[in-house]
Structure 1
Amino acid sequence: MLAPATRPSQLQSRLGPSLLSESMQAWRWLGGARSSGVGCPWLLLVASAFLLPAPGQPQQCSLAAPALTLQFADVGADQRVPVHHRLAGSMDPLYGFVQSFLDVVQPNPFPTELLRDALKDPPSANTSQILRYQTGYIICASIALVYFVAMPLIGLGICCFRRNRCCTGRIKVYSRSLLCQRNLFMFCLLLITLVILGGVICAFAANQKVREEIEPGTRDALNTLQALRRHMNGIPRGVQLTVEEFSVPKKHILSDLHNVSWSIGSTIHFLLKETVYSAMGAMKDRVQDLQNSQHHLQTVNKTVHTLTRYQSELESTLKDRKQSIISLLEDPQCTYCVSALSRARNLELGADFRKVPSVERVLKTLHGLPKANFSEMIHQANSSFNSIPELAVVKMAEVIQDLKEEIEKATERVQSIADSFPILDHTRPMNDALARAENSSRPYFKAAKHYEKYRWIAGVVTCTVVLLIVSCNILGLFFGTYGLVVREDPSDYESRGEAGAKLLLTGVGFSFLFSWLLILLVCVTFLVGGNVQTLMCKHWANQEIYKFIDTPGNLPPSMNITQRLGLKKNLNITSTYQQCKDGAGLWEVLQLKDNYSLNDHLNTTKYTKEFQKRLDSFNISFEDITLLSAEGKRDLETFRDSRIDRIEYADFPAEMRNPVVKTNVEGLAVDLERLSKVQSDRTLAAQLADEAQKLRRIQNSTVLTMEGLVVKLKESVQFLSTMAPGFQARINNTENQIGLVEAILPLQTQRILRQELDCFVRKEVGYVSQYLSWLRTVLMEDVASCQPFSTALDNGRVILCDRIADPWNAFWFSLGCCAFFLILSIIFAIETTRHLRPIRHRLISTGSEETYPFHIPRVTSLRL
């Protein structure tokens, strides 16, 4: 039995422009070529052109699954140095303004020569150089010193004048411009107070921000150093873990090798089964045509012989009956017999079967066919073709084992990456240097947290005092304004207005009393934070510090970074930092790539060359599948040359259309019986009835039998006449199709085998390429990356400059603004105080000018 063939539409949908469509196109063309007499060699050449791929034509993997995206373990997760960023906040504009102010205070470039002289042993930098470079800070410190000395003195002087009633007294003369003057002073005092309030709020926020950043900043700095050490210590283990991840592609490759032989055999079977099954189906149809033709030829021959024999017997019988019946009907005694006489005269044969063509010659030619056992032949071909998957498994077993051994060798080659990795010789001294840096920095971080506590307390106390002064100003303005509103006469005494004046004077007193402490705190924090920003942070960000370190002779030998890290070659910090930031590998930065080339170790060909070579040289020689044996071919050729199509089938209908007897025998018998009943002559009536009985016996025994044989003959002749015209072309096409399949099948098998092996190689090489690409990425970005070093440097700048120095500088800047606006606050508070007290009116006499503290009835009401 033939295996069920896949429908062409289904095959097309699964394969696209597949081999099936090409084969069917070739077969359709071959049918016309064979009928036109084209030779078989030429047909084979053309069919090969149809079925074999053109040079350079891209191969399509028919049934092979696409390569998966491999998932590898995150082996470098515990070795990464966390990146710190300064989060955007509401105080960023203030930070930027303070940095711009410091750029004005210190516009000088990085002090390369001064710093080099200062680092010498002994230092050679003189004081004049330092003072010249720090001119901006000296000027600012001088201003602070003047403020520090002048404010207490001025406050002491005002107290003395106040004691002698020489200042902050009352307004003695009323004028119409007094209202505008008083409002102007009060507005300016309020505006200045609000400015001081804004400044002290920013100072509070910045002071708290510094405190919030110091402890996590020191902790993050230590964590960064520890993460850097962990990164250095984890390089050997990390490299080994990345190498061990080769087990991921190895597992997939071994799994594919386990199934590849069956998959390839199944693919060959799947792609060619439509072709093979179609050829075997065509051969089966031709054999069926042969058998059917033999059957119908034998039927025709036997039926014609039988009809001829019956015809001879019927001819003599009808002749006797015709003469007898006519003589009875022509008897004068026979009444009403004229009507039946014409029918009796036609009682003779209508068809002459001796005239039909003879098929004995064709039958003789086909005698003994088929000599070949076509059923066994088709079964054997079907079994051989269906065993291709099992045969592929057997024939590929040896090469599959060799490929598994190559995978094991590739595993050893991958292990050599870890064994020969050059970083391992340099991690110990670098790790020791990082450990020393971590241990030496701990006391400083601890001290920074300790002193930060006192700085924070001083900042809170100072901000509280400034806030107290602001509160005095605001309350004084409130009570003073309220007193002015309710006072109907400028000379009236108002307790609330007097309370407002006293509150303003209290704020002035606090300003003089604590301003020197305020400016002292501002000056100290300014000198520290400003120099950190302009000397370190600014030049750290633009890499001037790295350039200073790179310049030979700037650092003393005891501070040589290369020696401290145990490196054999001097490093350029600037280029090294940039390379690390760009994601370079540590071995590249350490200039070890001359001794170790990662590209050579991660070359895919190094691990897959032998694998590909074995598959490229591998070939399978499948057993030739014989669809049509020589004996079967001779049977088909005998059938084709039997001249069955030369029989004159048109002569058969000519005789078969004629009735067996020209007249209706049954009808004539009925007429005779009817006539026998109306005859007066009993003897004649009996004779007519007897003839009617004889006619019925002829009808039932011979005529009906011959009519049945004619129907049978007609069916066989119809089949043969329908089959005969194109049977030679069908046999020729079947022979061409079978010959084409037998000739092309080995070529197509090799083509599909090569295509599937190439697809398999690309898939497995893709797994190795994925792994090597991942390995490169992990080594350069995680395990043996130099980026953690640049990240650590950037983290140090972010922690020191962005998270600590910026709020530190914002603190002293805000307090400094408060300190200098206190001067204006004092001036306007003193002037406003005079307007909050009742006005003394001046009386003029003839002898002298004297002021009396008595009430004058309503002069002018002074209101806000």
Structure 2
Amino acid sequence: MTRTPGLMVPLLGLSLGLALSLPRAVATDCGSLGRVEQLAFAPAARTRWLAPRFRAPGPLDSLYGTVRRFLSLVQLNPFPSELIRALLNDPPSVKTDEVVRYEAGYVACAVIAGLYLLLVPITGLCFCCCRCRRRCGGRLKTEHKAMACERGTLMTFLLLTTLVLLIGMVCAFATNQYTHSQTGPSVKAVPETLLSLRGLVSDVPQELQAVAEQFSVPQEQVSKELDGVGENLGNIIHNRLKSTVYPVLASVHSLGQALQVSIDHLRALNATSVELQEGQQHLGAPLQAHREYLLTLLQESWCRGSCQGVLSRASALQLGADFSQVPSVDDVLHQLKGVPEANFSSMVQEENTTFNSLPLLVAMQTANVVKDLKKALAEQPEGVRMLAQEFPGSEAASRWSQALERLELHSRPYLQEVQRYETYRWILGCVLCSVVLLVVICNLLGLSLGICGLFAREDPSHSETKGEAGARFLMAGVAFSFLFAAPLILLVFATFLVGGNVQTLVCRSWESGELYEFADTPGNLPPSMNLSYLLGLKKNISVLQAYRQCKAGAVLWKVLQLNDSYNLDKHLDIKQYTRKFQQELQRFKVDVKDLDLLTPEARQDLEALQGSRLEKIHYGDFLVQIQKPVVKTDMEQLAQELEGLALAQNDSALRQQLQEEARELRSLYQEKVVPQESLVAKLNLSVRALESSAPNLQVNASNILGNVTYLKGELPAQTSLILRNATECFLTREMDYFSQYVAWVKEEVTQHIATCQPLSVALDNGHVILCDMMADPWNAFWFCLGWCTFLLIPSIIFAVKTSKYFRPIRKRLSSTSSEETQLFHIPRVTSLKL
């Protein structure tokens, strides 16, 4: 079979397209499954997470700094490591002289407080006895020139002392109230801190269990995506194969239509040929008779006109084409008998429907595998399930919890006692501050009334009651000062001794890190207080280093060195779990045998066409005869010429014969020749159509049969390959969800659950509670109260001295010209002299 270049191009294009489209179908794009969602995991709730505490800046901060500097002068000795170690490990071995030597500054302050406690009350008692005998204090006996200067100086110092007392009293009141208000929350914060420390390790297994239960999040996500995996895989297969299947089905549909048209033309060709042959058999004899008869008529001698011209045309009155010479197509028709047996349009539509239902078909075929996958998915990996049970610190956590629980229980009674004694101290502080306030009020009233009395002496009719009242208020302040000096100094020293030692012994060494160094030094702490022992660790850990690491946000595994005893990666290894999931996923299989592309009937039609030798028909022989006229002469024109010739005849008989012959020729032409010419035109159309379509039809039929046969064998393999690649993409996608879980667990365990930051927060909070919230205001209170207590001494002296100037003077200067005498002239005394 000879193929023209124009016919080879579509064949090569279709074959090349088919060959290239199938390998491309293998390269499955994982993006067709959609984007991987970001899973949302619920973080493990730490119920006892400790919030950091801090003291907000306030107006008393400068006072706190002054008190700390004062205490640093009182206690110059360094941290007593040897003394504390002996006290913790062997209390009876502690020597008193060592304690006194360390507390030398406090001993000196105790001596000063003792002297104050001894001398001030004795002085007050002596002053009281002296006043009762009217030998001490009293009033001025005589006036003198420097009296105004002395009086002004004394009043100024008394006023300044009183103002300083007032400031100290206000600060004492404020710090006393602030200390009392902070004691309750601080005491309550101690059990909370201990409880948080207790939960630091003891809650880790429960939190790990909560984290392990979050494995259900990727399980649910994968299970949800498994519900539609069959249809998704079917869509992928459909999308990858449609560029191959659709063109083949389209070519089958086109070939079916072309086959039907060609068969119709072939049958028309055969029928027309037979009909033409039969028509020629019936047409030949009449033509021959008319020809001979016309030749006889036109050769008569009496024929007038252009008889010779008509004679030559009449002599050509015979058949032109001989359709008995065209080749027979019976063999081809026999080969194509019953073709097309298949309805190609219906078949292609059905195959399209079958191919388009591939996603549903895949979903149905993979339903059982999905069911088994969900069953395998419901299991939990062994390592994840044992994440909390195999936590190595269970025994240490129990010991840690028990130690903190004992500490918490033992501390509660002491904390209650602290609150009770703090209430007593607050009441006593309020009372003694009120006493200082009374002294301040007495001094201010005494000064006010005394000054008013001094100015009233200019009036000759004035009375001495204001000055006397001012003096009495000043002496009342003196009496209160002597009376409450002892309880004031006792309260000051008691609070000073407690608060000062807390600041210098605990807070100062806590801030400098000496406490941590002391705890880290082997042998300083008894075994029951050793942190490594409490946590059950084989290696000793540094408290200072652990504190610094915890403060920097280090994880518990790094601080406590648990990597050797607890392999987190091993517990999060889910390879066995995913391998089982992968094995189940590899059971996905799709049967595409229902996708035939050609039914047996259609295949038989194409095979019949392929073996029919339709393209071997000699269509040129048909065209040779078709190109010939049915009758060699134009019968219509011949009839017209006969009619014209008949009019030219003189012989009526000849004229009638010619006219009759013209009518018969027209009748024969209309009855026989015109139908023959129509059949020739019909035959020409069929021959032309078959001549142009038969080669392509045969080639396309052979090509489609080859492609369909190839696809029939390749589609299952290609479908399996696409399915395998798609399932690998699906497996990678689903494993990503489990990878998200593993990454989240590692972050949660190492940065949140297993972080020891609460330990550093608890220590910092302890420092804030003890030092910032309790010790600082406590020390500020005794400092202000001590300030007031020692200022009572100059207040007493200035009040006693000043009161003399407010009482009436018994005698005045003899010089009446003195401005001073005139200024302080007392009429009552003058009248007595007169």
CA distance in 1, matches of 2:720, 2:436: 95
Structure 1 segment 563-642 matched on structure 2, within 5 A: 570-578=540-548, 593-605=563-575, 607-612=577-582, 614=583, 620=589, 622=591, 626-627=596-597, 631=603, 635=607, 638=610, 642=614
The answer to whether residue 133 in structure 2 is matched with residue 163 in structure 1 is: no
CA distance in 1, matches of 2:481, 2:659: 165
Distance apart, 1:611 and its partner CA: 3.4
**Matched residue, 1:86:** 54
Counterpart of 2:180, as a letter, is: R
1:616-644: CA deviations, max 9, x gaps?
86574745654358946954983998559
**Matched residue, 2:259:** 290
Q: 1:753 pairs with 679, 703, 723, which one?
A: 723
CA distance in 1, matches of 2:746, 2:672: 101
**Matched residue, 2:423:** 453
The answer to whether residue 86 in structure 2 is matched with residue 112 in structure 1 is: no
Residue 165 of structure 2 contacts residue 788 of structure 2 at CA under 8 Å; is this kept in 1? Answer: yes
C-alpha change, 1:287 and 1:430, in structure 2 (3 Å) is same
Structure 1 segment 626-775 matched on structure 2, within 5 A: 626-627=596-597, 631=603, 635=607, 638=610, 642-643=614-615, 745-746=715-716, 748-775=718-745
The answer to whether residue 393 in structure 2 is matched with residue 414 in structure 1 is: no
The answer to whether residue 523 in structure 2 is matched with residue 553 in structure 1 is: yes
The answer to whether residue 491 in structure 2 is matched with residue 521 in structure 1 is: yes
C-alpha change, 1:385 and 1:564, in structure 2 (3 Å) is closer
Residue 114 of structure 1 contacts residue 125 of structure 1 at CA under 8 Å; is this kept in 2? Answer: yes
Counterpart of 1:445, as a letter, is: L
C-alpha change, 1:313 and 1:441, in structure 2 (3 Å) is same
Distance apart, 1:528 and its partner CA: 1.6
C-alpha change, 1:171 and 1:637, in structure 2 (3 Å) is farther
Distance apart, 1:572 and its partner CA: 3.6
C-alpha change, 1:849 and 1:761, in structure 2 (3 Å) is closer
**Matched residue, 2:241:** 272
Q: 2:410 pairs with 436, 440, 444, which one?
A: 440
Distance apart, 1:562 and its partner CA: 5.4
Structure whose CA Rg is larger: 2
1:420-451: CA deviations, max 9, x gaps?
33333334433332332223222211211110
CA distance in 2, matches of 1:478, 1:644: 146
CA distance in 1, matches of 2:529, 2:80: 18
**Matched residue, 1:426:** 396
Distance apart, 1:711 and its partner CA: 9.2
C-alpha change, 1:845 and 1:530, in structure 2 (3 Å) is closer
The answer to whether residue 401 in structure 2 is matched with residue 401 in structure 1 is: no
Distance apart, 1:457 and its partner CA: 0.6
C-alpha change, 1:314 and 1:404, in structure 2 (3 Å) is same
Residue 72 of structure 1 contacts residue 245 of structure 1 at CA under 8 Å; is this kept in 2? Answer: yes
1:116-148: CA deviations, max 9, x gaps?
244452555545544554455456556666666
Residue 500 of structure 2 contacts residue 779 of structure 2 at CA under 8 Å; is this kept in 1? Answer: yes
Q: 2:184 pairs with 215, 221, 226, which one?
A: 215
C-alpha change, 1:164 and 1:604, in structure 2 (3 Å) is same
Counterpart of 2:570, as a letter, is: D
1:12-43: CA deviations, max 9, x gaps?
xxxxxxxxxxxxxxxxxx9969548x9x6x87
Counterpart of 1:401, as a letter, is: D
1:708-754: CA deviations, max 9, x gaps?
88997898799779978987897788678757755764454344323
CA distance in 2, matches of 1:833, 1:708: 159
1:330-374: CA deviations, max 9, x gaps?
xxxxxxxxxxxxxxx9xx99xx9999x989769948961756747
TM-score with structure 2 setting the length = 0.70
C-alpha change, 1:525 and 1:34, in structure 2 (3 Å) is farther
CA distance in 2, matches of 1:629, 1:385: 17
TM-score with structure 1 setting the length = 0.68
Give the match's secondary structure for 2:32.
coil
The answer to whether residue 511 in structure 2 is matched with residue 537 in structure 1 is: no
CA distance in 2, matches of 1:834, 1:689: 186
Give the match's secondary structure for 1:163.
coil
C-alpha change, 1:799 and 1:634, in structure 2 (3 Å) is same
RMSD of aligned C-alpha atoms? 6.7
CA distance in 2, matches of 1:748, 1:109: 86
Counterpart of 2:336, as a letter, is: G
CA distance in 2, matches of 1:809, 1:448: 16
CA distance in 1, matches of 2:453, 2:676: 149
CA distance in 2, matches of 1:308, 1:380: 45
C-alpha change, 1:779 and 1:320, in structure 2 (3 Å) is same
Counterpart of 1:93, as a letter, is: D
Counterpart of 2:418, as a letter, is: A
**Matched residue, 1:12:** none
CA distance in 2, matches of 1:461, 1:633: 122
Residue 200 of structure 1 contacts residue 818 of structure 1 at CA under 8 Å; is this kept in 2? Answer: yes
Q: 1:281 pairs with 250, 272, 281, which one?
A: 250
CA distance in 1, matches of 2:529, 2:795: 52
1:563-593: CA deviations, max 9, x gaps?
6677666554334445555666767766554
Counterpart of 2:253, as a letter, is: K
Residue 327 of structure 2 contacts residue 618 of structure 2 at CA under 8 Å; is this kept in 1? Answer: no
Distance apart, 1:225 and its partner CA: 3.2
Distance apart, 1:395 and its partner CA: 6.3
Distance apart, 1:531 and its partner CA: 1.9
Residue 238 of structure 2 contacts residue 356 of structure 2 at CA under 8 Å; is this kept in 1? Answer: yes
Counterpart of 1:110, as a letter, is: F
Give the match's secondary structure for 2:523.
coil
1:479-529: CA deviations, max 9, x gaps?
899999x99989997999969966984796356665664454333323322
CA distance in 1, matches of 2:334, 2:801: 143
CA distance in 2, matches of 1:766, 1:500: 94
**Matched residue, 1:334:** none
C-alpha change, 1:153 and 1:314, in structure 2 (3 Å) is farther
Distance apart, 1:455 and its partner CA: 0.8
**Matched residue, 2:173:** 204
Deviates more, 1:160-169 or 1:555-564: 160-169
**Matched residue, 2:304:** none
C-alpha change, 1:695 and 1:479, in structure 2 (3 Å) is farther
Counterpart of 1:798, as a letter, is: V
Distance apart, 1:548 and its partner CA: 0.9
Residue 253 of structure 1 contacts residue 764 of structure 1 at CA under 8 Å; is this kept in 2? Answer: yes
Distance apart, 1:397 and its partner CA: 3.8
Deviates more, 1:508-517 or 1:836-845: 836-845
CA distance in 1, matches of 2:71, 2:194: 30
C-alpha change, 1:44 and 1:723, in structure 2 (3 Å) is closer
**Matched residue, 1:25:** none
Give % identity: 35
Residue 47 of structure 1 contacts residue 740 of structure 1 at CA under 8 Å; is this kept in 2? Answer: no
Structure 1: gaps spanning 5 or more residues: 1-29, 328-344, 677-682, 857-864
Distance apart, 1:533 and its partner CA: 2.2
Give the match's secondary structure for 1:219.
helix
CA distance in 1, matches of 2:605, 2:225: 43
CA distance in 2, matches of 1:192, 1:703: 154
C-alpha change, 1:664 and 1:572, in structure 2 (3 Å) is farther
